[in-house]
Structure 1
Amino acid sequence: MKEEQWPAELPVAQVRVARPTDKLPEVERFYCEGLGLKRLGSFEKHSGYDGVMLGLPGFAYHLEFTQHEHGSPCPAPSADNLLVLYIPDRQSINKIVQRLARLGYPEAEPENPYWKEKGAVTIADPDGWRLVLMPSAGIG
């Protein structure tokens, strides 16, 4: 099977999703200690901002969280704004869910019943943004 490439008219080398928070240490703990991402980089006092980049070493997909010294309120939008991770191994999902529960982040009821019907688990991060752990090897 031929591996797909980014189209020439969109030569993307990396994808990073960034958002502010007022709970930078808690968010980092949720995504690193709870979910299992790694801290790839960080910065402090850059024009009043501190931040961390989280992801998996060797992959060009990252999450960035920033916090401004005067506050970075970023209320979660609706309960249906999601970060969905497709994980083919149910046992791995269960371990992640248990780690997050031990950190104080229990399962949340998804707004869209599709996720529960497909066996996915939804958990709100410290800011209320939703993470979905979907038991699937592919996108569906």
Structure 2
Amino acid sequence: MPKPTPPCPLPGEGEKSVEKVLRINHRWIVHGRLKENAAAYLAELREKDPERLLRASELALHLVHYKKSEMVRDPKPLFYAGLFAEATREEIDRFLDGHPMTRAITLLLHGDDSGLARLSESAGKLALEIEEEIREME
């Protein structure tokens, strides 16, 4: 069965995806300052790179919708991995320093496995699986 890819949004649908991502991020209980850091990252993308904001929002929603039941019970690792999948190294350092799982996945997407050292064996395995799912969608 072919892997589903995020559909190209209809006019006006992209902004709905962004608003949904903002609502989800605002509601979820997460450790550290991930909620605030994600909100700051999204605000920066809205100002500087709206196309990347749209792609990040679509990917986060797609991963949660299509992969949650297959991979994890908690959708948060998928959501935040999708949200930060296109983050630059500078953005990773700025927004994900205190968030080892999301940081490890985004570093893996840059070809850097150094973030895995901060994770347990099972969390590291999950990070690798999520990274693989994101790569398959490219």
Q: TM-score, normalised by structure 2?
A: 0.33
How does the TM-score come out when normalised to structure 1? 0.32
Larger radius of gyration: 1
Which structure carries more helix by proportion? 2
Q: Which has the higher contact order (CA 8 A, sep 6+)?
A: 1
